[in-house]
Amino acid sequence: MPDPAMHEALQLAIRAGNPIVAIENPDESRAVALVRLAAEEMPRPLFEWSVTTGLVAADKTEKEQIVAEGKPAAALAHIVAAAEPAIYLFKDLGPHLKDPLVQRHLRDAYHAFNHTPRTLILVEAAPLLAPARSMTLSFELRPPSMQELDEVVRKTFKKIKDESFVEVQAKISKRQMEQLVQSLRGLTCDEAARVAASVVYDDYLLNADDLPRVVEAKRRILASAGCLESIATDRGVSDIGGLANLKAWLKQRRGGFSGEAKEFGIDEPRGVLMLGVQGCGKSLCAKVAAADWNMPLLRLDPGVLYQKFIGESENLLRQALRQAEAMAPVVLWIDEIEKAFASASSASADGGLSQRMFGTFLTWMQDHREPVFVIATANDISALPPELMRKGRFDEVFFVDLPDGKSRENIFKIHLGRRKRDPTGFNLPLLAQKAEGFSGAEIEQAVISGLYRAFTEKVALTDDHLLAEISATRSLSVLLAERIDALREWARDRCVPAD
């Protein structure tokens, strides 16, 4: 059943006498269902056209062809000449508008239908060309609601159960079902049905274990689009050594997007800003948070946003933010945010582009209502405008410092275990002591280099291999000592320690 609000809005657009209404959305089956229901309830006869079927009467059992396939200009000329009240649904007319004859017939339809009981509805998978856009009322087909997606999952499960020769079971609580349905947001109804079918057919069981599979299937469908990159979340909380405060904060807000939290009166978490030394786990935290919350992770690369044509950069940012909202619930990771907006706080030679981009982003952060959790990371935040850090933009600003001794032990333990080595066979306190001032990334590289050294010598990895690599490494804490000290001083009274 289509969203009642959209159903009423479409009927209103038709009754108001709009001659041409455009639904620019790739979810064709849902748009067509919405138009057919509106025509049925008004009631008005419905005629449908596509380049492969021609013009047919949609409300008749026998689909008699009125205008042959492959003739968009003839189909438009026919509906202009017809005088009776009707709704005409044209699918993918947009590509044919490059033909001047089709353009002229469309303009004739616009003038003939104006303030008459006739409406032409264009369902387009891609945006219309400029000449047609000026004649159309754009109708927004919002993504399927939670209620629609819930109905899709239940219908899909019932269909599989009715058609299968083996027992199909559902062992899922109301809360788990809500989480599963929420994870499908941003997909079309057809895509959601395929994802639901895939997890049920996998073991003929619908339960809580299917939630990570749904998130991964959604990630593969969404893949990469524009400035957003879909990132695999293959890390868990146990992969982070240290950062206890940050991990506790994220754990506390894990259920913040649930219906139960909303009923309790809790506002959805908006985001977190992480400032810190390079290689200390800020990017890893974004992946872990998405995995722990069973949400897809989208990465926004600020470097891709800036284009050479006027207005293109701002448009790319707006498209990326709209797409993140359409895919919600989702974690939006903005890596090295200072690269995108650093010059917004001072005079720059970009003609005010950074300020405009920054204003667009701030407005969106303040006003967006979809469940999008923003994780922004930065290595140097002192150049960023102060408006970005005030409460209401981000829920909290954390400073991620170099790991202390206990955290370095845990990091060695994690990376040794990940590479099939028993951490108990190593002197972790000694390794952590010798690696003082090392970041998590530098510790990982010491383990990797030690393994190469042992492999070349054809012997088992030992403490000596790791100590040799530690001694040979000049850490960032030495190379950039002054910069790191300045960063710590800046963050002392402005940020919450992550550990």
Please list the pLDDT of the chain residue by residue as tens digits (499 residues). Answer: 667 888 899 999 999 999 999 998 888 988 999 999 999 888 899 999 999 999 999 876 667 889 999 999 999 999 999 988 999 999 999 999 989 999 999 999 999 998 789 999 999 988 887 778 889 999 988 888 888 899 999 999 999 999 988 898 989 988 888 888 888 887 888 889 999 999 999 889 998 888 888 877 877 776 655 567 777 777 777 778 878 888 888 889 888 887 788 888 888 888 898 888 888 888 888 888 888 888 888 888 766 666 544 456 677 787 778 778 877 788 899 888 877 665 555 545 455 667 777 788 888 888 888 889 999 888 876 667 777 777 667 888 888 888 889 999 999 999 999 999 999 999 999 999 999 999 888 999 999 999 999 999 999 999 999 999 999 988 888 888 888 888 888 888 888 888 8
- Cβ(325)–Cβ(368) below 8 Å: yes
Q: What is the CA radius of gyration of the chain?
A: 28
CA angle, 173 then 231 then 334, to 5°: 105
pLDDT on residue 36: 93
pLDDT on residue 268: 87
pLDDT on residue 344: 53
pLDDT on residue 379: 80
pLDDT on residue 313: 67
- Cβ(25)–Cβ(191) below 8 Å: no
Q: Tokens for 467, please give them.
A: 């100590």
- Provide the CB-side half-sphere exposure for 305 (13 A, CA): 26
Query: Which residue carries 């710590």 as its tokens?
Result: 488
What count of residues does the chain have?
499
d(CA 324, CA 476): 35
d(CA 1, CA 30): 10
**Which of 51, 30, 37 has its CA nearest to residue 8?**
37
**Which of 50, 91, 89 has its CA nearest to residue 71?**
50
Does residue 19 have a cis peptide bond before it, meaning omega lies within 30 degrees of 0?
A: no
pLDDT on residue 14: 93
Q: What domains lie within the chain, and their CATH numbers?
A: 4-138 (3.40.50.300), 146-222 (1.10.8), 246-400 (3.40.50.300), 405-479 (1.10.8.60)
pLDDT on residue 71: 92
| C-alpha dist (Å) from residue 488 to 198, 411, 495 | 49, 22, 10
144's enclosing H/E stretch is none
Q: Tokens for 176, please give them.
A: 């788990």
List of E strands, 103-167? 118-124, 137-138
Strands 224-225 and 228-231 turn out to be antiparallel
